[in-house]
Structure formats: C-alpha cells, structure tokens
Chains A and B, each alone.
Chain A
C-alpha cells in the first residue's frame, strides 16, 4: 500500500462521482423519498416508524453502495482501465481501499442527509446519539462496497453484476431481524442470520435505539461488521489478478 497512490485514487473516484450529478442526486434523495413513504405508512404508529426507520438508515447505504461499487468495479474491468492500472505502480490494495474510502465518504454524506431528515422532519426518536447511527451507516456502506468489489469479480457483464444484489443483499435484509425478530426464527434460520454481517449492523442500530450510551454489544457488533469488511476486501484482493488469460 502506498499512501500517495491511495489518496490520488480515492480522489479520482470521487471526481468521477462529482461529474455524475444525477448519481449524486439519486444517492442523496432516494433514501429521503423512501423515509417519507415510511413516515406516511406509519402515520399513526410512531413507535413502528422509529423501529423501521432506524434499521433502514443502516440498510440503504449497504444496498446502494453494493450496487454502485459492483458496477464501478465491473466498468474498470470491461473498459480496460483495470488492466492499465495494474501495469502502473498501483497496488491492487490501493485500488480496493480507494473505493472503500471514496464510497465511504459518499455514504457518510448520504447517511447525514437521511438521518437529518429522519430526526428533524419526521421526529425519529432514539435513545442514543444520531452520530452513532451515522457511524454505523457508514460502516455498513463500506461493507456494501467490500462485498460489491468481491462480487464484481464473478460477473462478466453489468447484467450479471446487478443480479448479485438479490443473491447477496436480500437474504441479509430478510434475516437481519427487521421482519421477524432473530430470536423468534426457527433454529436453522437463526443460524444463517448469525453468520450474516448485516444482522450485527442491525443489532447495533437497535442498541442505539434503546440505550442512551453506546453499549458493549453495539461496539462488538460494529467490530464484527468491520471484520466482515476486512475479510471481503482480502477475498476481493485475492480474486483480483494482475495476470489474466
């Protein structure tokens, strides 16, 4: 890893994003629109809104960054820029971390806007600090980036890349405890839920919902998600080969 190369690569990815105004608008506004729907769906049940909105604040960045990253990385492969980069002093770790940091920054902006709307406009009520919600959302986004980088290795076309979303994201969302509490699932479902990183991210958010101060469980859960990020990035680095056929 080379700090200069990592920095310029992160800057390059952010610059690409900056030229794409429509993507920026979608990144910032879609979560707000969905939160608005949620707010009116549970107009007369503020507790239900609180419970679901809190989890959604962590799930949006995960899904969106997974999609954005898998397409961005696939474009690096199909347009030849990846091959070109691998003939330069750039190390593949610089590229992977560059994506993680750049889209992590984008996710922080997204989470800040969505949280601001949820708290101020829709009166979202949590015992813990909104800053912790944003922190967990960003770690979740980076998880989405890391899994997106890994999955893009198994897709040859953008058609295929998009279809990894239902494979990778949906089971995690279904089993994360949002629809059915994890301890009420049948044993084998709970066991699956136990090995999916998003379950821990959701649990961390729920901890922020009911405790004024950050709890040990929350930090442990956050550490587990961060560990999953590292594992996914290491696997992504292993699937990124300098030499190809």
Chain B
C-alpha cells in the first residue's frame, strides 16, 4: 500500500483545549478515505493540519513525502472548507475560473468542474444568490477543479439531495480510480460505506482505521452506526 499522508503523534491545541491527542494514521494513495466522527471530534482540525493552515503543537504530517503545507504540495491539493469559501459577489463560473487560474488551469477545466457539481445551469449566477446547497457545491467545484492529486473535502455532501449526493460520490470514486487521494469527512454513516477506508475519530482520538467491511466485522454488526457505537463502548471498557 502506497502512502499518501502520514500523520505521526499529532498534538493540536486550540485555545486551552487539546483537540488532537497524539493522533497517528496513514492514508493510502489513490483511494477515498472517510473521516468519520461526531461534530467537535477533531475532523476539521485534522484536515486543516493536513492542508497546512493549522498551528501544530507537536508531531509531524507528511504528504507525498513532503511536510504538510509546503509550497510544492500547494500546487497539487484541493481543499473544501466546511463553510463554503467562495466569493459571494462573483458568479459560480468566475469563482471556478479564478481558483483554476491559481493552479495555472484554464477556463475549460473550470467549466468542467462547475458541470461536475451540477451547477452548469447556475454558472452565470452570483454565488450570493444561490441556495445553501448550491453554494457549497460552488465551493466544491473550486476544490476539485483540475483533478488535484490530493483532495481534502470537509463535509462535501451536507444538505445535498440524494441523487446529487450519489453523483458526487461517483465523481470522488472516479477521481480516486485515476490516482487521486481523497480524504472526505462526514458524520453520516451511510456515506462511510462508499469509502475504501475509514478513520473513526472521537474526542481527538482514533478509534478505528480500517475498511468498512473490517469495521463491521470487528464490531460484529452490519450496521456501521451500530459498529461505531460498539467500538466506542469497547474503548471505554478497555480504558
């Protein structure tokens, strides 16, 4: 298994609170890894650390063999923040073309990304006039434009209708099949089944790091929700 991201003994404090307590995990290249856990468990903080915008107390993160956030990596990475980070006073197309241009990509790639997230018809609309779900898709278009090698998506499918969610997941899987590494956070367990690997995180600690099938098997249930619960309880007993 070829490793894309390696996180070692990562400790992150935000304010007086320790968000990640010596977190260690590896994420394989060319796959979709799901990052699951309740809100406040440290998912966003871990993602911010991987893209290199989070102050880290100790530990290390390497991405494709380089320290996280280093300049060469920034050419190969797309990041979707949890709250849409696009310009409300630009159209969807203008946003996508701007982010594409930052990576040296042209209008064709930008328009493709807009089409991929199902916003072709709304491409000429100002982002500020879109619905919440459309706005987050506009942000997603800017994160996947040009098919970057590493794609970090913080809750990309929240508030999207089921058909569209299905299409987006197919798109993510297609990107992985073409060699990209995706890390996708969610707190919806039915999305977990679509990932090749799962990282279950709770209160800043890794509870499970395995394939969905193995998580189900080790917890002895087919229901991932229930599996997650059992793993948490088992941890509580062990501790």
| A244/B54 in contact, CB under 8 A | yes
Distance in angstroms between the alpha carbons of A28 and B15 in the assembled complex: 45
A218–B31 alpha-carbon span in the complex (Å) = 63
For B24-51 the 0/1 string (1 means CB < 8 A from A) is 0000000000000000000000001001
Contact flags B80-103 to A (C-beta < 8 A → 1, else 0):
010111111111001000110111
Residues on A with C-beta less than 8 A from B87 are: 12, 16, 79, 81
Docked complex Cα distance between A12 and B99 (Å): 10
Interface 9-mer from B69-77, B176-184, B211-219 = B69-77
What does the 1/0 interface line of B96-124 toward A look like (CB < 8 Å)?
00110111100000000000000000000
Task: Across the A-B interface, give the 7 residue pairs with the lowest CB-CB distance, nearest first.
Answer: A80-B85, A84-B85, A8-B101, A88-B102, A87-B51, A87-B79, A12-B98
By size class, the interface of chain A is: 20 to 34
The answer to the question of A242 belonging to the interface, with a C-beta cut-off of 8 Å to chain B, is yes
**Closest beta carbon of chain A to B222's beta carbon, Å:** 38
Cβ-defined contact, B54 with A243, below 8 A: yes
Contacts of B101 in A (CB 8 A): 4-5, 8
Chain B residue at smallest Cβ distance from A20: B89
In this assembly, does B14 line the interface, its C-beta being within 8 Å of a C-beta of chain A?
yes
Q: Are A87 and B86 in contact (CB under 8 A)?
A: no
Residues on A with C-beta less than 8 A from B55 are 243-245
Interface assignment of A15: CB less than 8 Å from any CB of chain B? yes
Answer whether residue A89 sits at the interface, using C-beta atoms and an 8 A cutoff: yes
B53: CB under 8 A from chain A? yes
A83 near B: Cβ within 8 Å?
yes
Contact A19-B89, Cβ < 8 Å, known A8-B101, A243-B52, A245-B14: yes
Q: Are B126 and A19 in contact (CB under 8 A)?
A: yes
- Count of A-B residue pairs with CB < 8 Å: 80
Interface residues of A in 13-57 (CB under 8 A from B): 15-16, 19-20
Chain B residues within CB distance 8 Å of chain A? 13-15, 48, 51-56, 69, 71, 74-75, 77, 79, 81, 83-91, 94, 98-99, 101-104, 126, 142
27 contacts across the A-B interface (CB closer than 8 A): A4-B104, A8-B98, A9-B102, A12-B98, A19-B90, A19-B91, A20-B89, A81-B86, A83-B48, A83-B81, A83-B85, A84-B79, A84-B85, A85-B102, A87-B52, A87-B69, A87-B74, A89-B71, A89-B102, A89-B104, A90-B102, A242-B52, A243-B54, A244-B53, A244-B54, A244-B55, A245-B54
Q: List residues 74-127 of chain A with CB under 8 A from any CB of chain B.
A: 79-81, 83-90
Q: Are A15 and B94 in contact (CB under 8 A)?
A: yes
Best-surrounded residue of A15, A81, A90 (most CB of chain B within 10 A): A81
What residues of chain B lie closer than 8 Å to A80, measured between beta carbons?
81, 83-85
Given contacts A4-B101, A245-B14, contact A86 B53 (CB under 8 A): yes
Cβ of A83 and Cβ of B53 under 8 Å apart?
yes
With both chains docked as a complex, state the minimum distance between the C-beta of A170 and any C-beta of chain B, in angstroms: 29
Chain B residues whose CB sits within 8 angstroms of the CB of A15 once the complex forms: 90, 94
| Chain B residues whose CB sits within 8 angstroms of the CB of A88 once the complex forms | 74, 99, 102-103
Among residues of A, the one whose C-beta sits closest to the C-beta of B82 is: A80
From known contacts A242-B52, A243-B53, infer whether A16 and B90 are also in contact, taking CB-CB under 8 Å. Answer: yes
A8 touches B81 (CB 8 A): no
Residues of A within 8 A of B69 (CB): 87, 242-243
Separation of A79 and B138 alpha carbons in the complex (Å): 14
Encoded as 1 (CB less than 8 Å from any B CB) or 0, chain A from 180 to 210 comes to 0000000000000000000000000000000
A244-B15 Cα distance, complex, nearest whole Å = 11
B-chain residues with CB within 8 Å of residue A11 when the two chains form the complex = 98
Contacts of A243 in B (CB 8 A): 52-56, 69
Q: Is the CB of A87 within 8 A of B77?
A: yes
Q: A5-B101, A12-B87, A243-B69 are in contact. List 4 more A-B contacts (CB 8 A).
A: A15-B90, A16-B87, A80-B85, A89-B103
Q: How far is the CB of A194 from chain B (nearest CB, A)?
A: 40
How many angstroms between the C-alpha atoms of A81 and B127 in the bound complex? 13
